[in-house]
Amino acid sequence: MRDRFSRAGLLAGAAFLATATAAQADDMAQPERDYLPSDIVVTGERDTGYANEDGSSATKTPTPLIDVPQGVSFITEDQLEDQSIRQLNEALRYVPGISMETGEGHRDEVFIRGQESTADFYIDGLRDDAQYYRSLYNIERVEVLKGANALIFGRGAGGGAINRVAKRADLAGQAVSASASVDSFGAFALLADVNQPLSSDVALRVNGTYEEFDSHRDFYEGRLFGISPTLTALLGPQTTLIASYTYDDDKRVTDRGVPSVGNSGPLRGYDETFFGDPGFNEAESQAHIARLRLEHDFGGGLTANGTVQYANYDKVYANILPTGVDEVDNTVFLGGYRDYTARENWIGQGNLVWQAGSDTIESTLLVGFEASRQDTVNGRDTVTFTRAPVVGGLDPNETPLAETIFIPPYVLNTGARLRDSQLETLSFYAQEQLQIGDHIELVGGLRWDRFDLQTLDVKGGVSGSRVDEKVSPRLGVIVKPTPDVSVYASYAESFLPQAGDQFLLLSPTAAQFEPEKFTSYELGVKWAPLAKVLVTAAVFRLERSKTPYTDPLGNTTLTGESRVDGFEIGAVGEVTDFWKANIGYTYLDGELRSASDFGPAGLRLQQTPKHQIAAWNRFDVTEALGFGIGVIHQSDQYASFSNDVVLPGYWRVDAAAYYTVSERFSVQLNIENLFDESYYPSAHGDNNIQPAEPFSARIGVRLAL
């Protein structure tokens, strides 16, 4: 039955693509704006633009960003280049409302409006949920869509979703560019981007990168190889086919940071010390993502797109890690394990968009479906320290604190756990965007999800299964007193099954309960005071409910609740001919409203600082010379739900200088942590706290042919 269900979803996707190909209307023009994602124009000269008008990722329709009733932050490719940022986790530090989890030193992991996630990552609107580090060498834009919104993204996305808009092959002409950079630790990156029309109707684009990692942390190193070819083909006057494939191969040392000292915060004086075994602490991942998308204009305002995506992930990481400190004996306790995951994802998605109306009422109707299958095998081997205990001596896993940590002898116990899971989903959704006159717009929609999960604890011989069917609404009202101003109110819901966001194991207890619920309320304003500037502000409330609570007698109920109240304001774009900026501030007040498995009522949410500031500016003094300045601030935050260990607040200042030698050649210098501040930006629990890099400099060159 499950295989028939999976095949039915994929066949529906294939039928959708075939229908779109068969029906063509030669006398109709293309829609004004593509959606998911916008077209990319490849040129040899960068525009250094930070502006973006495309809000289609939030609606799956051609919608200007100013008309989206939701907070959306973005970082364009030009800003990423100006900051010399290559990895997603580095880019997200410049988005207020997001705080970074260390991800155990082997994956992207974020808190969005106080909600933790390892899976709310997307590429061109399709889920990319494996636990690995994502590179940006083939990415046109990073978008953060804030607040619960299951209608567009499905399950999860309680605090928001992170979408990467991929580069596409362009038919306009040939373009070749390359860049190289090296920093003061010895890390370097090489990138190439080649766009080549093969005919008037077909173009090929290839992006590739090779990076080597290094930092101030002892023994840390690694490398990344990535290549991503894309093909764009016009199958007819109104039909476009986009095919892409991405292969990323990442290998690096697994660095779990430093432990804490009681309730006094991170262990000081050991910011360079590696609390692991360099020969054992390694993380490797290989990701293959292939995507086929068809876009068609039927005429009469009716357009369609369909996408099939296949992704294969192979991941292993091993680590010795600090678990605590003995302040009296000046020693550290260690633990360790090796974990591996193999995952295969199939996703089929189709959308019909119909735009119609008159001078007084305009309608944009979205009808779509999504079907997916996910197969995952996850296993773990544990570490046992074998040193014989001595009366009055150190424990087997205890070792003296020192500049270089001595790792006690240990063995690896294979087969400590093995889990096999199969997840199938089927979704149908509809959304109406109704424009009434020049001043009122209404957005409303529903999504129905069927969520079928089966898991097997191979070692314990315990299986679990659950089927959930949920309906998630979205409502929004937009008032536009002028074309350049929108005032909006929105309500949206999302859900997350009790198995968590990776769905590796469904316990017998979790199998009894329906999903957790996320409810988002938001009031906001968007204003475009200049042609390429957007100013936004919003107040919001995000409620999480139906969280498990296990009482002292072992009884579990879904009575846990938490709440985040917040405010954010930002401005992005080209302020003047010489000044580009992306500036934002977010205030978050998050706490547990009732007891849950996270802790008792009244605790503050983990790694949710009350105040966050992120500001990046580029100033072009002349046509050849420019400078950049950036600031990041986060106030105090708790490392975990225990509320025992505080990560102190910090300010970080970055700087850059740019010099254009010729139309084809430019040089830039980027400095991170200009004033060499010591701080701890992220953690994974109370005893894996990541020290920030000190002052570092990166010099890069860029060549356009």
**Model confidence over 558-602: pLDDT tens digits?**
999 999 999 999 999 999 999 999 999 999 999 999 999 999 999
Tokens 């992120």 belong to which residue?
Answer: 614
C-alpha neighbours within 13 Å on the C-beta side of residue 373: 13
Q: Tell me the mean pLDDT in the region 384-400.
A: 91
DSSP character at residue 63 = -
**246 - beta bridge partners?**
289
Residue 387 has pLDDT above 60, yes or no: yes
Pick the more confident residue, 249 or 510.
Answer: 249
210's enclosing H/E stretch is strand 202-213
Distance in angstroms (rounded) separating the CA atoms of residues 177 and 663: 12
> To the nearest whole number, what is the mean pLDDT of the chain?
92
CB 71 within 8 A of CB 146: yes
Distance in angstroms (rounded) separating the CA atoms of residues 574 and 625: 17
Segment 518-555, tens digit of pLDDT: 999 999 999 999 999 999 999 999 999 999 999 998 89
Distance in angstroms (rounded) separating the CA atoms of residues 467 and 376: 18
Helix (H, G, I), strand (E, B) or coil at 543: strand
Overall residue count recorded for the chain in this entry: 705
For residue 182, CA distances in Å to 166, 225, 272, 284, 676 come to: 25, 16, 21, 23, 19
Which tokens belong to 274? Answer: 């590696």
β-pairing verdict for 160-166 and 121-123: parallel
In three state form, how does the secondary structure of 172-188 look? CCCEEEEEEEEECCCCE
Which domains, and CATH codes, for the chain? 2-704 (2.40.170.20)
β-pairing verdict for 625-634 and 650-660: antiparallel
CB 442 within 8 A of CB 477: yes
CB 63 within 8 A of CB 55: yes
User: pLDDT class for 95, splitting at 50, 70, 90?
Assistant: very high
Segment 406-455, tens digit of pLDDT: 999 999 999 999 999 999 999 999 999 999 999 999 999 999 999 999 99
Segment 320-359, tens digit of pLDDT: 999 999 999 999 999 999 999 999 999 999 999 999 998 8
Sign of the dihedral defined by the CA atoms of residues 675, 677, 683, 689, in that order = positive
DSSP character at residue 59 = T
User: pLDDT class for 390, splitting at 50, 70, 90?
Assistant: confident
Distance in angstroms (rounded) separating the CA atoms of residues 345 and 503: 13
User: pLDDT class for 646, splitting at 50, 70, 90?
Assistant: very high
Sign of the dihedral defined by the CA atoms of residues 506, 511, 513, 514, in that order = positive
C-alpha closest to that of 309 among 350, 341, 342, 340 = 350
| Residue 37: cis peptide before it, omega within 30 degrees of 0 | yes
Q: Which amino acid is at 384?
A: T
DSSP character at residue 19 = H
Does this model's pTM top 0.85?
yes
Q: Tell me the mean pLDDT in the region 143-171.
A: 93
CB 332 within 8 A of CB 259: yes
CB 206 within 8 A of CB 194: yes
Which tokens belong to 30? Answer: 């293309």
Which tokens belong to 514? Answer: 């329906």
Report the percent of the chain where pLDDT is more than 90: 87
Residue 129 has pLDDT above 90, yes or no: yes
DSSP character at residue 198 = S
Given this model, what pLDDT does residue 395 score?
A: 94
Segment 101-114, tens digit of pLDDT: 999 999 999 999 99
CB 280 within 8 A of CB 319: yes
Distance in angstroms (rounded) separating the CA atoms of residues 112 and 399: 37
CB 454 within 8 A of CB 422: yes
CB 549 within 8 A of CB 556: yes
Q: Tell me the mean pLDDT in the region 368-393.
A: 94
Residue 28 has pLDDT above 80, yes or no: no
Helix (H, G, I), strand (E, B) or coil at 376: strand
Distance in angstroms (rounded) separating the CA atoms of residues 196 and 690: 43
Q: Which amino acid is at 490?
A: S
Segment 460-504, tens digit of pLDDT: 889 999 999 999 999 999 999 999 999 999 999 999 999 888 998
Residue 29 has pLDDT above 90, yes or no: no
Tokens 């970080």 belong to which residue?
Answer: 652
CB 242 within 8 A of CB 232: yes
CB 241 within 8 A of CB 233: yes
Tokens 């409502």 belong to which residue?
Answer: 475
Residue 245 has pLDDT above 90, yes or no: yes
Residue 688 has pLDDT above 90, yes or no: yes
Given this model, what pLDDT does residue 13 score?
A: 44
Sign of the dihedral defined by the CA atoms of residues 401, 406, 410, 415, in that order = positive
Tokens 């004033």 belong to which residue?
Answer: 675
C-alpha closest to that of 335 among 644, 104, 642 = 104
C-alpha closest to that of 98 among 108, 106, 83, 107 = 108
User: pLDDT class for 48, splitting at 50, 70, 90?
Assistant: low
